[in-house]
Structure formats: C-alpha cells, structure tokens
Amino acid sequence: MLYHFFYSFKNSFSYLNIFRYVTTRSFLAFCIATIVAIIFGRKFIDFIKKKQFGQTIREEGPKSHLKKGGTPTLGGVFLSFAAIVAIAICGNFSSVPLLATLFVFFGYFFLGLIDDWKKVVHKNTAGVSAKGKLFWQFLIAGLAMYLLVSTKTISTELYIPFLKSPICDLGYFYIFFGSLVIVSSSNAVNLTDGLDGLAVGPVITSLITLCIFCYLGGHEELSQYLYIPYTQGLSELVVFSTALIGACVGFLWYNTYPAQVFMGDVGSLSLGSVIGMLAVISKNEFLLMVFGGVFVIEALSVILQVGSFKLRKKRIFRMAPIHHHFELKGWEEPKVIVRFWIISLLLAVVALTTIKIR
C-alpha cells in the first residue's frame, strides 16, 4: 500500500522516492511484522487459552513431552497475520512472483488451518488424510507453477550450484518438478516442527539465504555479474521474505523453550511452501537441499525409518523424526534445538559461498 499510494506522489515530493527501493520497504516490513507478531501474539495466546485449544501430545513420543499437553497451538495464525499485514503495507503487488507466492502461501495456510482445526477442535488426531493433503498441496503448487511458466515469468531451465549455465531445459515438465519441490519443502518443515523453536530457527536462516538470492536475482546488473538467473519482479520477494522473517522472530518470542504456543500445521505447512516457492522462482531448487539441510535430514530420517521397518521390521533410529532420536539418547531439548540451529546457520553460509563460485 505504501508503495502504490506514496510512490504515486513522487513527482510532487521527491523524498517519496524512498518507497521505490526494495531495501527500504524490506526493512519496514521486517519491523512491522516483528512488532505486530509480538503484540498480537500475546492477545492470540490468551484467546486460545480461553477457548482451550491446546496441543494433544502423542503417547508414543518422548515421555518428557507429555507435560506439554494443553499448550496453546495454532500459533501460525498470528505469525501469518503479522507477515500479511507487513506485506500489505510494503509490497508492490504488480510483481507476478509476489502474487504467485502469496497464492501458494494462502493455499497452504488454508490446508494447515483445516488440519489443525480437526485435530484441536474436533479432537480428530488424524486431521486431514495424507492423500487429501497431497492432493491439495500439488493442486495449489501446480496452479502457481503453471501461472509462472505460462506467463514466462520464470524459465524452465535447471541450474545447479557452481555452474554458470543451466544443465537442461525441462519445458512444461518443470511445472511438476517445481510443484514437487514446493510440496517436499512444505512437508519437510512440517516434520521438523516437533520441539520448541526447532523449526522456526532453520526457517529464519533459510529465508535470509533466499532473501539474498532473490535480491541478486531481481537486480539485472548484479545477476549478470554473478551469473545468477535474472527474473523480473523477483526482488519483491525480498520484501515478503523479510516480512516472514520478522513474523518468525515475533513468533519465536513466545515459541522459544519452554514454548507458550505451538506453530501448528497452519504455520509449518505455509512457511515450508514459501521456502520451496522462493527456491523455485530464484532457481535454487538444488541449493535448497544445502541451506535447508536440517529439513532434508528430518524428512529423510522419517523416510528411512518407515522404509526400514516395512522391509526389515527393524528401526534405524530410536524414533523419527531424528530430533526425537537425540532426545531419547539423553540430549536435553534446548541442546537439540540450539545444535540444529547452528547446523542450519553453517549450511546457510555454505550455500551463500556458491554466489561467487560459479
């Protein structure tokens, strides 16, 4: 809104040119989202407590988690609200990448909300069926990918780190490939969200990494110099990224150990979808496996555990996802969380080094 309203008066008031810069609006978006999340979060938690919408803890999980039963959940609602308020104020809605990303964000938010509502309000621990989730996830991701590809907003070429040129052109098959990245990212973040603040830390480092790549990929001169694919309107996703980062910081205010509120699927699914979407639009689909390494490890641990049990009737880990394995080995919950954060930060730095090694 600030961009579309104030910037229209730039000829009369030259200082309003400041709203044209992505860096300025990104800084404002971060500040607004953080403040809104902290202020609105307190009221939201009180509301959830009155409604007695508490988290149900699985009995087969670590016994130390049983005391968390009844902790307010659906925290992804106020996190998302803070981000949307910030992007509504600071965003440039003429950007196709921004509109497509918002579409995916809302689509996965809606899915997560229904899933949490069934679990918390209707006491249906299964929530939305796995098939139903996958159908909706691929539908939303596929529609967004079709929009981006059909309008030629993004190319269908594949890039990998360390190489200056694309390795191949997938054509319209890229729609499925991009959808797969988005769905996988969303579910991986969802699996990671099992300890207080565990998921939101790597989400922040991933968003910061993608924020940098989106800025460079949306700047024509810098992208050419660094051999990064240029995408028109991509820089607007920097504003969206910083809004989400601010919202996550505000959410972490209440989610840090011991958590006063849990994110729920409404938060983890939508955040994961945005990370996947940003990776696709900025052409960092494969690099996502590096800076999002914590999510990859968590998802792989579940796949390996299930596969091993079905084929060999034996478990690889004491419990999956892998963060529970370390808990059952005797690690205190805060130690698991901080160490996973450290790993996420290191992987983000490794991913950023690929900017010049091309």
Q: What is the pLDDT of residues 260-287, one digit of tens each?
A: 999 999 999 999 999 999 999 999 999 9
pTM above 0.75, yes or no: yes
What local confidence, expressed as pLDDT, does residue 12 receive?
Answer: 54
Structure tokens at 19: 């709203």
Q: What is the pLDDT of residues 126-162, one digit of tens each?
A: 678 889 999 999 999 999 999 999 999 999 999 988 7
What local confidence, expressed as pLDDT, does residue 314 receive?
Answer: 87
Residue 184 DSSP SS3: helix
Going by the DSSP 8-state scheme, the letter that residue 112 receives in this structure is: H
Residue 352 DSSP SS3: helix
Residue 186 DSSP SS3: helix
- Report DSSP letters for 268-308, one per residue: HHHHHHHHHHHHHHTT-TTTHHHHTHHHHHHHHHHHHHHHH
What local confidence, expressed as pLDDT, does residue 167 receive?
Answer: 87
What local confidence, expressed as pLDDT, does residue 65 receive?
Answer: 56
Angstrom distance (rounded) from CA 311 to CA 44: 45
The 10 Å Cβ neighbour count of residue 83 is 30
Structure tokens at 63: 């016994």
What local confidence, expressed as pLDDT, does residue 356 receive?
Answer: 78
CA distances from 162 to 167, 168, 228, 276, 349 (A): 11, 15, 11, 20, 15
Angstrom distance (rounded) from CA 286 to CA 127: 31
Residues 198, 335: contact at Cβ < 8 Å?
no
Structure tokens at 225: 């110099």
What does residue 54 show for φ and ψ, rounded to 5 degrees? -105, 160
Angstrom distance (rounded) from CA 101 to CA 275: 10
What local confidence, expressed as pLDDT, does residue 21 receive?
Answer: 81
Terminal Cα distance for the chain, rounded? 38
Amino acid code (one letter) for 162: F
Beta bridge partners of 157: 169
pLDDT in tens, the chain (358 residues): 665 555 555 555 555 566 678 888 999 999 999 999 999 999 999 998 887 776 665 655 565 554 566 688 899 999 999 999 999 999 989 899 999 999 999 999 999 999 998 888 777 666 788 899 999 999 999 999 999 999 999 999 999 887 878 888 999 999 999 999 999 999 999 999 988 899 999 999 999 999 999 999 999 898 888 889 999 999 999 999 999 999 999 999 999 988 899 999 999 999 999 999 999 999 999 999 999 999 999 999 999 999 988 888 888 888 889 998 998 898 999 999 999 999 999 999 999 998 877 6
Of the candidates 336, 341, 329, 324, the one whose C-alpha atom is nearest the C-alpha of residue 57 is: 324
Angstrom distance (rounded) from CA 301 to CA 285: 21
Rg (CA), the chain: 20
What local confidence, expressed as pLDDT, does residue 291 receive?
Answer: 96
Angle, helices 236-255 vs 76-90, to 10°: value is: 150
Residues 211, 245: contact at Cβ < 8 Å?
yes
What local confidence, expressed as pLDDT, does residue 46 receive?
Answer: 92
Of the candidates 23, 34, 10, the one whose C-alpha atom is nearest the C-alpha of residue 204 is: 34
